[in-house]
Structure 1
Amino acid sequence: MNELDLIRRCKAGDMQAYDSLMRPYLTMAFRTAALITHDHHLAQDAVQNALIEVYRTLDRFQESKSSSFRSWFYKIVVFRSLNMLRQTKPVAEYMERADMMPSPIETIVRNEEAEILRQAVRSMKVEYRTVLVLYYFEEFKVEEIADILKIRKGTVKSRLHKARKLLEKQIDAHRIYDFAVKELRNL
């Protein structure tokens, strides 16, 4: 059964159709929420809130107006994740939580540069981190990110550019530090 048929059945109250519709998106939704919030529990709450909101507002989704159900759902997940961040006070321990879900970079590349990259992304302001996550980790197009975040395409491009520059600066700073440490050890 295709997605549009599932949506129509969900609008008619079919809970099995709702389960079938949402199941393929849950892992990616949780990963997105975890990368934005940097907290396993906040990510779970954000996704749960998004699922409830989708269920309650599915009748507002119109296939012809929205670019895709996936984009519509991710818009909700991103905003619920950002709301969770706004509702919690920033605490340094959240950045170091042992139970935080590993990012795709950590899973694929288990080396020192991956850790530097992860910490650089963590240190970014949420507006840069969010576009970076949606673009590189979830592979949304610039237009889709603009739609999800309700900002202009130029703003998305600008934030992506700034995020890349911030990453480059962090990585270069670490390389210089490593080089200096190695040179000092050789003295």
Structure 2
Amino acid sequence: MEEKKALVESMINGSEAAFDELYHSYSGKLYRMAYFITGNRSDSEDILQETFVKCYLYKSKLKQTERFEPWLYQILVRTAWRLERKKKGRAEISYEGILENEEDKKSAEHIREDKKTDGPLESVLVAETANEIQAALSNLDIKYRTVILLYYYNELSTREIAHITGAMEGTVKSRLHKARKLLKDLLKADSSEKTEMERGFCHG
């Protein structure tokens, strides 16, 4: 923690080496976050690059070095949202291959377990795979998708998410509540569809 704080302070003071080290430390996680939001690899790369360009250009505005990570998320989320507004009506999102390592899979499992909310999703999510959860997320509106990802994937509080997204904390809580319900409904519908298909194969 102290080492990361020292790197951030060095970056603010103009160290390109510190900036490069922070880039390598955070770029993978931020890229995956951008991809979870947009579902597009090219857009995610652009968002990642723009996030770090803004990080370097506006580094002097970061007054609390311990808030570096939430500050990065704030830049990334708002950059992604701006891009999405420009690209309404885009093709269907695909998350194929995004869960590339155990850390990503555990993050999806964290959503599935829903430990923070006494399990309102548990009865539906317990049988779902990480890939099915990611596919369901792709059908959520970007603002609902973002709060789910920030809350579970990044384990941020509703207060931190409010700061990142520029919304009131009450709005974040409302979006999170609705997002959970929508996600549960999507997974139920997907499960029912699979059951019907299996029955069709059995009787075909």
Question: When the two structures are superposed, what TM-score results if normalisation uses the length of structure 1?
Answer: 0.83
Describe the superposition over 1:94-151 as per-residue Cα deviations: whole angstroms up to 9, x where unpaired.
52486x6337349978x97444322221111111001011111122121111110111
Describe the superposition over 1:60-91 as per-residue Cα deviations: whole angstroms up to 9, x where unpaired.
1101xx76111011110111111221222432
CA distance in 1, matches of 2:46, 2:155: 23
Distance 1:5-1:162 versus aligned 2 partners, 3 A rule: same
CA contact (8 A) 1:47 1:80 kept: no
Tell me the matched-pair count.
182
In structure 1, list runs of 5 or more residues that go unmatched: none
Match of residue 79 from structure 1 = 78
RMSD, aligned α-carbons: 2.8
Match of residue 179 from structure 1 = 195
Shift of 1:22: 3.0
Question: Which deviates the most, 76-85 or 174-183?
Answer: 174-183
Is 1:149 the counterpart of 2:157? The answer is no
CA distance in 1, matches of 2:22, 2:176: 31
CA contact (8 A) 2:94 2:135 kept: no
CA contact (8 A) 1:40 1:101 kept: no
CA distance in 2, matches of 1:107, 1:70: 17
CA distance in 1, matches of 2:171, 2:57: 31
SS in 2 for 1:151: coil
CA contact (8 A) 1:120 1:167 kept: yes
Match of residue 20 from structure 1 = 21
In structure 2, list runs of 5 or more residues that go unmatched: 110-126
Distance 1:106-1:2 versus aligned 2 partners, 3 A rule: closer
SS in 2 for 1:123: coil
Shift of 1:12: 2.5
CA contact (8 A) 1:28 1:138 kept: no
Distance 1:60-1:101 versus aligned 2 partners, 3 A rule: same
Is 1:167 the counterpart of 2:183? The answer is yes
Distance 1:116-1:18 versus aligned 2 partners, 3 A rule: closer
Distance 1:118-1:12 versus aligned 2 partners, 3 A rule: closer
Match of residue 153 from structure 2 = 137
CA contact (8 A) 1:11 1:58 kept: yes
Amino acid at match of 1:50: T
